[in-house]
Each structure stands twice: as C-alpha cells, then as structure tokens.
Amino acid sequence: MTSAEMKAAILHHLVYTQGKDAVTAKTYDWRMALSYAVRDKIVDRWFEATRRAYAEKRKRVYYLSLEFLIGRLLKDAIINMRLEESVLDALKDLGIEWEEIIEDEPDAALGNGGLGRLAACFMESQATLGLPAMGYGIRYENGLFRQRFEDGRQVEEPEDWLNQAHAWEFARPEVSIDIGFGGHVQEIGSRANWYPSEVLIARAHDTPVIGWKGRWGNTLRLWEARPMHGFDLARFNRGDHTAAAEPEAMARTLSRVLYPDDHTEQGKELRLKQEFFHTAASIRDILRRFESEYDDLRLLPKKAAIQINDTHPAIAGPELVRILHDERGIDFEEAVGIARNTISYTNHTLLPEALETWGEARMGRLLPRHMQLIDRIDDLHRRETGTHDLNAHHDGKVHMGTLGFIMAHKVNGVAALHTELMKSTVFKDLHELHPEKIVNETNGVTPRRWLLSCNPRLSSLITDSIGDNWVDHAEDLKKLEPFTEDAGWIEKFTAAKHANKVDLSNWIAETLEISVDPDSIFDIQVKRIHEYKRQHMNLLETIAYWLEIRDNPNAGWTPRVKIFGGKAFPNYIYAKEMVHLANDMAKVMNSDPLTSRFLKVVFPPNYNVSLAERLIPAADLSEQISTAGKEASGTGNMKFSLNGALTIGTLDGANVEIRELVGAENFFLFGMTAEEVMTHRAEAGHAARAIAADPRLARALETIRSGGFSPEEPGRYHMITDNLTHHDYFMVCSDFTDYWRAQRDVDAAFADKAEWARVAALNTARTGWFSSDRTIRGYMRDVWDVEAAPLVDLAAE
Ligand code: H53
C-alpha cells in the first residue's frame, strides 16, 4: 500500500466512518480513522483464512481463557501487516504525530498478568504459524482496575476501555447463545433434562488476530452477557422506573468486571457464574460449528482441540459430557471419552491458595446437572483406575484441578521445573495413575510485540546484522553470537540500549518528576505484587544499599535506578503495604542529598502491557527473585532476556531454562533451590537465625521498624517486619544474604561496560527459543495433534 493510498484511506474513514472533518478532528478521531484504514487491510485476509480452514476441513484449536491481556492493538496490526512506512508517511503528510496516536489507544486489560498475557501471545503465534484457532474469552466492560497512588498508597479506579468506540471488534448479534443457571433436573434413566431457573444470553464480539506478514488471521471471540428480556416496558409504564431496568443491569453484571485476583481463590458466586457463562457459550459455539461441517460427533476429537487455560474453564468437561449425553443421546462413557480426547488442561500454578475449589452446595444450586455428572465422572474414573480416593468431588467441595486432570487427555505445566513439581507434588497420585498425561510446554512470548515492536533500535541492529528471518524464526537470533565478539558491533548494541535508557529517563522525568542518570544500572522488577515474588526482598536490599552509601558516601558506588511496577490485589493488605513501603522509600531516598546520585527508586503507577513495552527495552537487570518452587514459569523474565537484560534470579520457573540457554556464567544466580526451601522451611526459627547472622538485613529491617520511611507513623510496616521476623514463609530472610552477594556481583560486572554489553547481547542471541511460536509448535505436536495451513499471500488469492 502506498503512502498516498494510506492517506486517502485515513481521510475516507475520518469523514465517512468517524464522521469528522479534518479541521475539527481530534487525536481520537485520527486514531479511529487510522485503525479503520488498517483494519480494512486485515479483514479480507482474515476471511480468506477462515474460508480455507473450512474448505480444507482443518482441525481447529479452541483456546478457552477467562483472560486475554492483549494491550494495544493498532501498532501490532500495523507492524504485522508491514504498513509502518506508509502509515508514517501518511501521518507526516497529515501533520499528525505517530506517538500521540499510538499512546491514545487504551490498553485492552482483560487479564491480570502472566496467564492472560500468555493467552494473548499464543493468539498472535497461532496466527503467525497459520494454525486455525479461535480464542474464547469474556468481553469485560471493565478490565483490570487502574492503579493510582495517593500519599504512596494504592488506590484502585475502574478501568473503562469500552467507554469509547473500539475499532477492532465486530459485534455478532446473530451469535447469541442462551446460558442457563439454577433450576432443577428431571432424570430419565441415565440422561436428564435440565430446567434452569435463570437464563442469560451470551453475545459474541469478534476481533481479528493477524499473524506476521498477514499470512493468516484468526478470531478472538469475546462474550458479552445480555438479558433474555431487556427493558421491562410494562413495569416502566406502571411507574416502576428503576425496576424496569433491573433485568438488564443484573445480566450485564456478569461480563462487567474482571476479577482482579491473581493467585487467590475467592470462591465468589459471580465468578463461578462467569466461568460457566464463558465456558458454556464457547462449547455451544464450538459444537455448532462442528455440526455445521460434520454429522458424527465421534469425530470431534479429530476436528477440534479445546485447551483449558488454568482451571477457570474446567467446567468444560462436564458441560461437553452433558450436551453429548443428555442432549445428543451418546452413551455416558462414550461421551466422557469424546470429551477427554478433545480437551486438554494447562496448569499454571502449584500455590494451594490459587487452586480453585467450589463448595458442593453452591455448585449444586447453580449447576445441578453438572454436579450429578461430576459425581458420575468420579465414579467412572474410580472404576477405570481401581482407586477410591482420587475424586474431584470430596470434602464437600469440587476440586477444579482434579476435575481438569480427569477430563483431559493431556495436562501440561508451563516450564520444565514446574512440570516436574506437578508430577511430584500436587498431581503426584494422579500422575502415577496416568503417567503419559502430564507433559511440559515451556511458555514463550511473541517476538513481534516483545522485540520487533517494543525495541525498534535493537530490532534494526539485528535485522541489519542477520536479516529479518528472526522475526518468525527466533532461533535465528543465534546467528548474532559471532557479532558479540566484534567490538564495533557491541558499540552499536550499547548505543541502542543507551538510547532506550535515555528515552525512559526522559519519560520518568516528565511523568514522575524524578531525574535519573541513564548511565546507572536500570534494575527493574515489574510483575504483580505478591509475597512469593518477593518485592520486599528487593526493597530490603535497596535499603541495605542505601544505608551503606550513607555510611560512606564517597566510596565509589555503582549508581542504580531501582524500578518497580505492579498492582496489588485490592484485598491483599500485605501486598498493598509493600507498594506503600516502596513509595515511602522513594520519597526518602530520592531526596537524600547523600545518596541520590547513586540510588533512585522509581515506581510508575498502573503497570500494564504498554508500560512493559516501554520499560523492558531499557532494562540492564531483570529481577526474577521468587521463592524457588513458587513461580510456575514467568514470562516477563523471557522478555527482559530477549531485550538484552541480564537476570538476577533464583532457580525457579523458566529462570532455570533461561540460565541454561544463556550460560550459567552469564546469569546472577542466588538463593535456595525448591528442594532446599522445603527442608529449610521446616526448621523452626529460620528467619530469626538468618537475621541474626546478617547485620545488613537486621539493620534494614530495623530501619523500617523504627519508622525510617514513615516518621509520621513509625508502626506503619509492622505487618511486614513482624511477618519477616517470625514467620517468613517465602524465605526472604534466609535468601537475603546470598541475594546481597549477587547484587554486589552485578555492581562489579557492570563496571566493565564492554563485557556487560557482550553478555547482554548474548542474552538476546540465546533466548530466541522463548518465542511463543516454539511453544505453540510444542502444543501442536504433543497436545493438539494438529497441523498448520501452508502460509501463502492471502491477499493475492
Ligand atoms: O501464569 C503464567 C506463569 C506465571 C504464573 C501465571 C499465573 C497467573 O497469571 C494467574 C493464575 C495462575 O494460576 C498463574 O504465575 O508463573 O508464567 C503463565 O503461565
């Protein structure tokens, strides 16, 4: 597409779609016009891909996820469609700032963190690989809350991305599916009729997902909850104006908010309703499509693979069995077999507090038929395996992890260590019964968004050096290795990183009014705030470093900028205290004349996908410091490495694989192993002993305890200091000393700029394996048994 054509398309949409005159158009109008112009280029290819999937009778993959953390879409679409040049030229011609347009788009924050972002990367990789696939999610009116700080405290505000028109979705009112809840069951022999007492409608909204170079397009289908009967005119006419709108309000509640918990199982009825609403609508839609093409339901596993992203959609098993058995009349055991061979389940955590369970009373009330079927599934599984105590339904609850396991033909972990721990801990007994079921598919990230798009300087250098094949064959980044021995090339690499750091410094100065020196180590920890991720250990190390500088301000310290980002679950008081402490520390430290040349603490509010894209390319040091055994994989860790940051980390999640790939000598390892954590934790008094043995740690804790960062309220952080001193389940104190040592190794390494840059470049060269293209290929082979379509120029067809 030429620039002139692009310009004409933008102007056309500005006037005829957006209804604005160029003279009065605002940034928003231009953004919408540009989005429509780009979208036009996508739609034909998207249709063509869909037509081919049907014509070639291809097996499809259905990715069921309560979260899709997709972020902004415009730039992604422009890059994948290779329209940057024409768009940049056209905008220049029109006198419109590219940056301003891009920044104007709200993030689609339909997810909490890693799990939701993984689903978004998977969608992009599936489209890039030409795999016919569909993502199913919920169209939350309010995505993840916005975070603000008020006197350093986190304040949550509703997120309202749908307040303005959303250029990327197509409403599909013709795809409206009835979803029932409650009511009663009438059994007829083995089968039953379910008469729900409440019915809602799930309405589809489709967003095209276009792969690299526009060679394939898939659909992200998001469900909106609508009332069966809208506005009650009779009530309104009777004068009962509020009640007239009630059914609509009640129904909409279901797709109104994303639950903001990552790793806490809240057990709320609304959440269970969301899960069933999402899953039931998706299963219906999958079967409708299947039955439009085939007339034998026994073919389902051959033609459809349903992936359950965590246990959130695990009711898919019983729901599919219900439809096959009760509604289509297939024998119960055969129905279970078909469902199992179609469904597979990804486990993303071993944290007990994150493994969903539902009380039998609640489940029985809301989903009476499913409750019966779960018991029959348990019964069948007992008979199949000759066991008696491995039920999904036990102790008054339905255990969704067990249900997910029993109803799947494959269950996967998300990093090598995590998968091994699944086998030896949480799923030990089930694994012994079904030794073939658990497989590992180490997570990945899309290199289009997480390198090409977010880091144009480094991307250009890479492409200038090895060509652009790496974009969809990230293993090619290996070809950079010889360049890392070339001093001239390393200088260019350093220049790219430095320029990224200058950009970030300017942004920090403008938005947070903190000045940071781009020559400092940019040390970044961005992720949800959680005790197991140990932001407080990082804070303690920061305090210890600060105190050391104060003791001896002229000792030649290596300057650091400690950057934090992340949201705390609104009811997770401890995590909120960590946020508050970080902000209190920033206030004290950033204005300390003795230390501020050497140490700054920066905590930009509202960490989200777009902020990640800004921070990661500027990082020198990536903090991946979770208690070993607790972080299933991590995906931020991969993004940092890919963008040339060194990692300081524990042997946890995918850190293990990162270290193997980049080389142990290029990784700042510290801390206990998962096994050591388990034994050491059992020894009473571990925290007190660790504190007694490390005066730096003791002093840092004492500084917090005595109000060093909260003089107006010295006791403010007692919750944290008491917990660390007496309990410390996540072993912050026991790992602190080694963490401090590793941080000083970082200082020493950073002193040799050229060597640091060489290792940073090696990180980029050696982490192409973490492309989500590789992950998706793994699922295709090990889990879905599916092939991609040949990649051709769809526009030419
Ligand atoms: O999933 C990521 C992992 C990460 C893990 C995360 C996750 C959530 O974001 C939410 C719930 C959950 O059970 C797990 O914590 O380690 O990288 C993608 O697999």
- Tell me if the pTM is above 0.95: yes
Same domain flag for 118 and 203: yes
348 lines ligand 1 (CB under 6 A): yes
Q: Which residues contact 150 (CB under 8 A, 6 or more apart)?
A: none
The answer to whether 537 touches 564, Cβ cutoff 8 Å, is no
By mean pLDDT, which of 244-248, 286-290, 599-603 is the weakest? Answer: 244-248
- What's the mean pLDDT in 646-664? 98
Whole-number pLDDT of residue 797: 57
**pLDDT band per the 50, 70, 90 thresholds, residue 735:** very high
The answer to whether 586 touches 603, Cβ cutoff 8 Å, is yes
Residue 460: strand, helix, or coil: helix
Strand order in the sheet with 393-394: 357-359, 397-399, 393-394
317 lines ligand 1 (CB under 6 A): no
- DSSP track, 261-273: -SS-----HHHHH
Distance set, CA 478 to CA 173, 378, 621, 764 (Å): 48, 49, 21, 8
Q: What percent of the chain stands above pLDDT 70?
A: 100
- What's the mean pLDDT in 457-469? 98
**pLDDT band per the 50, 70, 90 thresholds, residue 637:** very high
User: Residue 632 CA: which ligand 1 atom is closest?
Assistant: 16
Same domain flag for 165 and 246: yes
Burial class (CB in 10 A: 0-12, 13-18, 19+), 362: middle
Distance set, CA 509 to CA 398, 502, 512, 559 (Å): 51, 10, 6, 17
Q: How far apart are CA 610 and CA 99, in angstroms?
A: 13
Same domain flag for 222 and 291: yes
Ligand 1 centroid, distance to 74 Cα (angstroms): 26
Q: How far apart are CA 91 and CA 95, in angstroms?
A: 6
Structural domain contains residue 90: no
The amino acid that residue 25 corresponds to is: A
Which residue from 605, 606, 656, 608 is spatially nearest to 628, judged by alpha carbons?
656
The answer to whether 507 touches 499, Cβ cutoff 8 Å, is no
Ligand 1 centroid, distance to 410 Cα (angstroms): 18
Nearest residue (by CA) to ligand 1, atom 1, is: 115
Q: Which residues contact 520 (CB under 8 A, 6 or more apart)?
A: 558, 559, 560, 561, 600
Same domain flag for 500 and 436: no
Beta-bridge mates of residue 394: 397
| Alpha-helical runs (H) found in 130-268 | 233-237, 241-244, 246-253
State pLDDT tens for residues 77-132: 999 999 999 999 999 999 999 999 999 999 999 999 999 999 999 999 999 999 99
| Alpha-helical runs (H) found in 682-717 | 686-693, 695-705
Ligand 1 centroid, distance to 634 Cα (angstroms): 7
Which residue from 112, 107, 115 is spatially nearest to 635, judged by alpha carbons?
115
User: Residue 351 CA: which ligand 1 atom is closest?
Assistant: 13
Nearest residue (by CA) to ligand 1, atom 8, is: 115
Q: What percent of the chain stands above pLDDT 90?
A: 94
Distance set, CA 510 to CA 232, 307, 443, 606 (Å): 51, 44, 35, 16
Same domain flag for 429 and 544: no
The amino acid that residue 345 corresponds to is: Y
- What's the mean pLDDT in 393-416? 98
196 lines ligand 1 (CB under 6 A): no
Whole-number pLDDT of residue 589: 98
Residue 220: strand, helix, or coil: strand
Q: How far apart are CA 343 and CA 283, in angstroms?
A: 11
Q: Annotated active-site positions, please?
A: 348, 527-528, 533, 635, 639
Same domain flag for 264 and 405: yes
**pLDDT band per the 50, 70, 90 thresholds, residue 233:** confident
Distance set, CA 363 to CA 65, 271, 356, 398, 553 (Å): 20, 12, 13, 8, 62
Buried b (16+ CB within 10 A) or exposed e, 65-86: bbbbbbbbbbbbbbbbbebeeb
Whole-number pLDDT of residue 244: 78
Structural domain contains residue 721: yes
- What's the mean pLDDT in 745-769? 98
Beta-bridge mates of residue 397: 359, 394
Whole-number pLDDT of residue 235: 81
Structural domain contains residue 8: no
User: Residue 347 CA: which ligand 1 atom is closest?
Assistant: 13
The residue behind tokens 């793994």 is 778
276 pLDDT more than 80: yes
The answer to whether 329 touches 297, Cβ cutoff 8 Å, is no
Whole-number pLDDT of residue 717: 98
Same domain flag for 572 and 429: no
115 lines ligand 1 (CB under 6 A): yes
Contacts 24+ apart (CB under 8 A), 394-399: 396/359, 396/360, 396/361, 397/357, 397/358, 397/359, 397/360, 398/357, 398/358, 398/360, 398/363, 398/371, 398/374, 399/355, 399/356, 399/357
Same domain flag for 667 and 792: no
Ligand 1 centroid, distance to 747 Cα (angstroms): 31
Query: Pairing state of beta strands 153-157 and 146-150?
Result: antiparallel
497 lines ligand 1 (CB under 6 A): no
Q: Which residues contact 174 (CB under 8 A, 6 or more apart)?
A: none
Nearest residue (by CA) to ligand 1, atom 7, is: 115
Ligand 1 centroid, distance to 734 Cα (angstroms): 25
Regarding an ipTM greater than 0.90, the answer is yes
211 lines ligand 1 (CB under 6 A): no
Which residue from 616, 654, 649 is spatially nearest to 764, judged by alpha carbons?
616
Distance set, CA 214 to CA 58, 90, 127, 548 (Å): 19, 21, 9, 54
263 pLDDT more than 90: no
Q: How far apart are CA 685 and CA 291, in angstroms?
A: 62
Structural domain contains residue 30: no
State pLDDT tens for residues 522-532: 999 999 999 99
Give, in degrees to the nearest 5, the angle at Cα 149 between 148 and 152: 165
Q: What are phi and psi of 37, to 5 degrees?
A: -65, -40
Distance set, CA 356 to CA 114, 119, 312, 313, 424 (Å): 17, 19, 8, 11, 20
Same domain flag for 760 and 783: no
693 is written with which tokens? 């043995």
Other C-beta atoms within 10 Å of 741: how many? 12
415 lines ligand 1 (CB under 6 A): no
Nearest residue (by CA) to ligand 1, atom 14, is: 348
Structural domain contains residue 610: yes
The answer to whether 789 touches 58, Cβ cutoff 8 Å, is yes
The amino acid that residue 24 corresponds to is: T
Helix (H) or strand (E) holding 136: strand 133-138
The answer to whether 126 touches 446, Cβ cutoff 8 Å, is no
Same domain flag for 496 and 347: no
Helix (H) or strand (E) holding 13: helix 3-16
Q: Which residues in 514-639 belong to E strands, given as ranges? A: 521-526, 560-565, 599-602, 621-624
Q: What are phi and psi of 522, to 5 degrees?
A: -90, 105
Same domain flag for 719 and 790: no
Buried b (16+ CB within 10 A) or exposed e, 545-581: bbbbbeeeeeeebbbbbbbbbbbbbeebeebbbbbbb
Query: Pairing state of beta strands 217-227 and 304-309?
Result: unpaired
Helix (H) or strand (E) holding 156: strand 153-157
79 lines ligand 1 (CB under 6 A): no
Which residue from 757, 728, 725 is spatially nearest to 480, judged by alpha carbons?
757
Q: What is the mean pLDDT of the chain?
A: 96
Q: How far apart are CA 444 and CA 121, in angstroms?
A: 8
Is the Cα torsion angle 291, 295, 297, 303 positive or negative in sign? Answer: negative
Ligand 1 centroid, distance to 645 Cα (angstroms): 22
631 lines ligand 1 (CB under 6 A): yes
Query: Pairing state of beta strands 170-181 and 198-210?
Result: antiparallel
Q: What are phi and psi of 413, to 5 degrees?
A: -95, 175
273 pLDDT more than 60: yes
Domains in the chain: how many in total? Answer: 2
Residues in the chain: 797
413 lines ligand 1 (CB under 6 A): no
Determine the straight-line distance between the first and last CA of the chain, rounded to whole angstroms: 17
Structural domain contains residue 471: no
User: Residue 635 CA: which ligand 1 atom is closest?
Assistant: 17
Whole-number pLDDT of residue 250: 80
Structural domain contains residue 791: yes
Q: How far apart are CA 302 and CA 59, in angstroms?
A: 7
260 lines ligand 1 (CB under 6 A): no
State pLDDT tens for residues 173-196: 999 999 999 999 999 999 999 999
Burial class (CB in 10 A: 0-12, 13-18, 19+), 174: exposed
Pocket test for ligand 1, best of 309, 348, 528 (most atoms within 8 A of CB): 348
**Domain span holding position 296:** 56-72+107-443+779-796
Same domain flag for 571 and 688: yes
Structural domain contains residue 97: no
Ligand 1 centroid, distance to 635 Cα (angstroms): 9
Distance set, CA 751 to CA 339, 435, 544, 746, 779 (Å): 58, 50, 20, 9, 43
623 lines ligand 1 (CB under 6 A): no
Question: 149: domain CATH number?
Answer: 3.40.50.2000
Q: How far apart are CA 81 and CA 691, in angstroms?
A: 56
- What's the mean pLDDT in 40-57? 97
